[in-house]
Structure 1
Amino acid sequence: MQISVKSDVDKALKSMRGLQRKQIPFAAALGLTNTAKKVMKVEQRMMVKQLDRPTPFTVKGVRWQGANKADFKLGRLHSRIYLMPKQAEYLRFQIEGGTRTPKGTAIAVPTSNVKLNRYGNLAGGQGRIKRLLAKKNTFQGTINGVAGVWQRPTRGKRSRGGSGTIGQSGLKLLVAYESSTQYQPRFDFYGIGERSVRTNIGKEMDKAIARALRSAK
């Protein structure tokens, strides 16, 4: 998943003459690279706003790659903003929507009955599920058609002089096992990127051309 940043160099050609034209590949590559850097920062900032508490790992999954002036003569000069493969695996559902099916047997979805970390995820991930199942009052199974990790009822204290208990709480679902999860598009990765490119590329190309003209004098 990526956004390519390209630009023609007509403006640069009009402002450069003679030896200055040798600076065109440098100027174009610099302008495209700096635009990509700006777009990456905008994407990361908007991800935090549009998604529910994304982790630093997720946010840092947005990267930029600069333009190489050697590609100028080949007609393929561009920079790009892209998602790292690991983050792209799950972010694509936030970008495009759709049905997510697990690589394994199920998707583990924590409930409000279990402690979550500051990002709304199950603290400790799969290791946390193993630790939950290691407790005496938990088990893994299907109750009333709902598969997951369950906590057994906590027995009440025995009443004085009685043989019973003062009630007991019911089973608690800690982690549900889902065969698939439906997603609606929430993160406008492409729209944000395209708007940011339009906003920044003109200014960045102007600055790059000015720098190239100064260095050519």
Structure 2
Amino acid sequence: MGDFSITLDTSRIQRDLSDMQKQIPYATSTAVNSLAFDAMRLENSAMSEIFDHPRPFTTRATQVDKATKSDPTAVISLRDQQAKYLTPYETGGDHWVGARDGTGDLLVPVDGRTDAYGQIPRGLIKRLLARPDVFAGTVRGIRGIWQRPTARGARRNAAPAKLKLLYMFRANKAVDKHLDFEQRAAEMVQREGPKAIEAAILKTIRTAR
């Protein structure tokens, strides 16, 4: 039997492989962003499990800085405003009280108004202290926000009306819950990462055709 040879034209395969190589950064950023937004939704959902009746402001605390083809890194973080009071639940420490009280004490409701989430509405204390019948001070050893009785509605020969304690300052203390923000995201990425990469590659192949 005589010798013979077979010649294969691999130029098409080489071009396809070259095109796929060019698509790797896109597939990588797609997988990373998919994981990042899944982690963001998981973190936001966990807020309702960690805290009792959290405000929507808290359940939307997480954000994503997306990955790109040139920089395949996505950053999952707490938004600046929410990070102020949520960070102690991740790193430890006392509750965040802001600039409301120079002593760093907590202000808790007594007879004062709260919102649907059991918290003091934003800006309410400032508005109350602007009223002539409300003041901040210490009465009978209790430091808080007090309301003076008004003359309106007072009945003749009735016993003198008493001051009403609206909100009371209590000594701050360390938070008693843990956010597990970093651990939760890391575990999800480790668990779902291979599937996200596979889905991104398949999507890249389909769109490249």
Aligned AA for 2:73?
A: H
| Matching of residues 121-160 of structure 1 within 5 Å | 121-123=119-121, 125-126=122-123, 128-135=124-131, 137-152=133-148, 157-158=155-156
CA distance in 1, matches of 2:110, 2:181: 30
Which stretch shifts more, 82-91 or 54-63? 54-63
Is contact 1:51-1:187 (8 Å) kept?
A: no
1:26 matched to 2:23? The reply is no
Aligned position for 2:35:
35
Is contact 1:93-1:185 (8 Å) kept?
A: no
Is contact 1:105-1:179 (8 Å) kept?
A: no
**What is the Cα-based RMSD across aligned positions, in Å?**
2.8
Structure 2 residue matching 1:182: 3-state secondary structure: coil
Structure 1 residue matching 2:206: 3-state secondary structure: helix
Aligned position for 1:83:
78
Aligned position for 2:70:
70
Q: How far 1:88 moved relative to its partner? A: 0.8
Aligned position for 2:3:
none
Structure 1 residues 154, 101: closer, same or farther in 2, change over 3 A? Answer: closer
Aligned AA for 2:137?
A: G
The size of the alignment, in residue pairs, is 189
Q: Deviations over 1:137-190 (max 9, x none)?
A: 5332112433211234689855xxxxx53x567543211235644312332212
* Structure 2, unaligned runs of 5 or more: 1-15
TM-score (norm 2): 0.75
CA distance in 1, matches of 2:18, 2:126: 70
Structure 1 residue matching 2:70: 3-state secondary structure: helix
Which stretch shifts more, 16-25 or 55-64? 16-25
Q: How far 1:200 moved relative to its partner? A: 2.3
Structure (1/2) with the larger strand percentage: 1
Aligned position for 1:191:
183
Higher RCO (CA-CA < 8 Å; seq separation 6+): 1
Which stretch shifts more, 56-65 or 20-29? 56-65
Q: How far 1:64 moved relative to its partner? A: 1.1
Q: Deviations over 1:113-143 (max 9, x none)?
A: 11211122212x33x2243335555332112
Is contact 2:90-2:180 (8 Å) kept?
A: yes
CA distance in 2, matches of 1:122, 1:131: 12
Aligned position for 1:53:
53
Aligned position for 1:161:
none
Identity level (%): 30
Aligned position for 1:172:
164
Aligned AA for 2:135?
A: F
Larger-gyration structure (1/2): 2
TM-score (norm 1): 0.73
Q: How far 1:89 moved relative to its partner? A: 1.1
Aligned position for 1:12:
none
Q: How far 1:34 moved relative to its partner? A: 0.7
Aligned AA for 1:174?
A: L
CA distance in 2, matches of 1:215, 1:78: 23
* Structure 1, unaligned runs of 5 or more: 1-15, 72-76, 159-163
